């Protein structure tokens, strides 16, 4: 492909390289360093004048550093006369702060959207936003891709009894995602209603649906401390589920998450590689990773060629 450059930020170099490999391109030269006062410095090592530039940077690790690095890279490419700059953000930072749910609470996802636009981004490609309305925070095009094709493929290839399963949403917010997967697999759907005392702490869970003697597949967009999905797994097991799997797009796994998963009743906890998982998989044998670099690479290719991206990834074959 002509007139295209791909750069990878420091948050997920492995994913950046896989995307470039799928496209048959070399990653662009970029050097990121910190001054003694911890300011981030980015140096783009090759010309981007007139190029269609894609910057891959996931919202993981040191989130604020990753975000600032992305903003600086976008600005550096724009003032170096790139024709278009697309930020490829597999895991969108601050996505959970998408609404004003109490007095004086910030809408930080909107702030991040504003910063990306002001930095000079012309287009955003992301995956499984925590809330799809975040797309409305932008005045530039946003393509929200779905991990659903990869999830369906994994289920069919790795769960022998998938035809006798129930897809379960661990909360009401994820019901649409779970029902879509259940519909495409032609299986049953269930929902867990949860009540929280405070953030990251669940008070009570109620299962709506039947999982008795069935394989239960918990589906969610992300897991952080994993308190919710581990409690949900216990609830499903007590309700008679034969086996329990969890499939998540973004495996954040902070704090006690790995210990919780190791002690929980999961057969497997499957995540995509929007966030690096290698170190976590070494400490938790239940974690398995699905590679979504091909989906992102295809989205970049179609964007560069002026083809539809949203249609391709929001209409998954049955």
Q: Which domains does the chain have, with CATH numbers?
A: 4-145 (3.40.50.2020), 148-290 (3.40.50.2020)
User: Is residue 47's pLDDT more than 70?
Assistant: yes
Is the pTM for the entire model greater than 0.85? Answer: yes
- Summarised one tens digit per residue, pLDDT across range 167-208 is 999 888 888 899 999 999 999 999 998 766 665 555 678 899
Q: Phi and psi (nearest 5°) for 121?
A: -65, 135
User: Is residue 317's pLDDT more than 50?
Assistant: no
Yes or no: say if 126 and 143 are a contact pair by the CB < 8 Å rule: yes
pLDDT for residue 274: 97
Least confidently predicted of 236-240, 262-266, 309-313: 309-313
User: Is residue 284's pLDDT more than 80?
Assistant: yes
User: Is residue 251's pLDDT more than 50?
Assistant: yes
Cα separation, 175 vs 34, in Å, equals 43
Mean pLDDT for the stretch of residues 27-36: 94
Tell which residue, 59, 67, 43, has the closest CA to residue 121: 67
Tell which residue, 48, 35, 117, 57, has the closest CA to residue 76: 48
pLDDT band per the 50, 70, 90 thresholds, residue 315: very low
Cα separation, 59 vs 275, in Å, equals 8
Strands 243-251 and 215-223: parallel
Tell which residue, 278, 230, 228, 227, has the closest CA to residue 255: 227
Encode burial over 271-299: b for 16+ CB neighbours within 10 A, e otherwise.
bbbbbbbeebbeebebbbbbebbebbbbb
For residue 24, give every residue at least 6 positions away whose Cβ sits within 8 Å of its Cβ, in sequence order, or none: 1
Dihedral sign for Cα 89, 144, 312, 146, please. Answer: positive
Mean pLDDT for the stretch of residues 100-113: 93
pLDDT for residue 278: 94
pLDDT band per the 50, 70, 90 thresholds, residue 308: confident
pLDDT for residue 238: 93
Mean pLDDT for the stretch of residues 53-68: 96
In which element (H, E) is residue 167 found?
strand 165-169
Mean pLDDT for the stretch of residues 120-142: 94
pLDDT for residue 171: 85
For residue 141, give every residue at least 6 positions away whose Cβ sits within 8 Å of its Cβ, in sequence order, or none: 122, 123, 124
């Amino acid at each position: 492909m002509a007139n295209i450059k791909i750069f990878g930020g420091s948050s997920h170099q492995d994913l950046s390289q896989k995307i470039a490999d799928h496209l048959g391109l070399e990653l662009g030269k970029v050097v990121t360093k910190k001054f003694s006062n911890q300011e981030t410095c980015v140096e783009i090592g090759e010309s981007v004048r007139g190029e269609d530039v894609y910057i891959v940077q996931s919202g993981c690790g040191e989130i604020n550093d990753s975000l600032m690095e992305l903003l600086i890279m976008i600005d550096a490419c724009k003032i170096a006369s790139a024709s278009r700059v697309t930020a490829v953000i597999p895991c969108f930072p601050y996505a959970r702060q998408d609404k004003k749910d109490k007095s004086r609470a910030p809408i930080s996802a909107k702030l991040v959207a504003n910063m990306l636009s002001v930095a000079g981004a012309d287009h955003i490609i992301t995956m499984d936003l925590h809330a799809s309305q975040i797309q409305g925070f932008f005045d530039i095009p946003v393509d929200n891709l779905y991990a659903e094709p990869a999830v369906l493929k994994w289920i069919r290839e790795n769960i022998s009894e998938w035809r006798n399963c129930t897809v379960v949403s661990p909360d009401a917010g994820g019901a649409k995602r779970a029902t879509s997967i259940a519909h495409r697999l032609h299986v049953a759907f269930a929902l867990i209603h949860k009540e929280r005392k405070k953030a990251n702490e669940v008070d009570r869970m109620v299962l709506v649906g039947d999982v008795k003697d069935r394989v239960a597949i918990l589906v969610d967009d992300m897991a952080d401390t994993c308190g919710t999905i581990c409690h949900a797994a216990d609830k499903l097991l007590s309700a008679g589920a034969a086996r329990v799997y969890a499939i998540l797009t973004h495996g954040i796994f902070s704090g006690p998450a790995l210990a919780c998963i190791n002690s929980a009743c999961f057969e497997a906890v499957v995540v995509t590689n929007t966030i690096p998982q290698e170190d976590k998989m070494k400490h938790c044998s239940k974690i398995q990773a699905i590679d979504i670099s091909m989906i992102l690479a295809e989205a970049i290719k179609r964007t560069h060629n002026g083809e539809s991206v949203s249609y391709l990834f929001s209409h998954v074959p049955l």
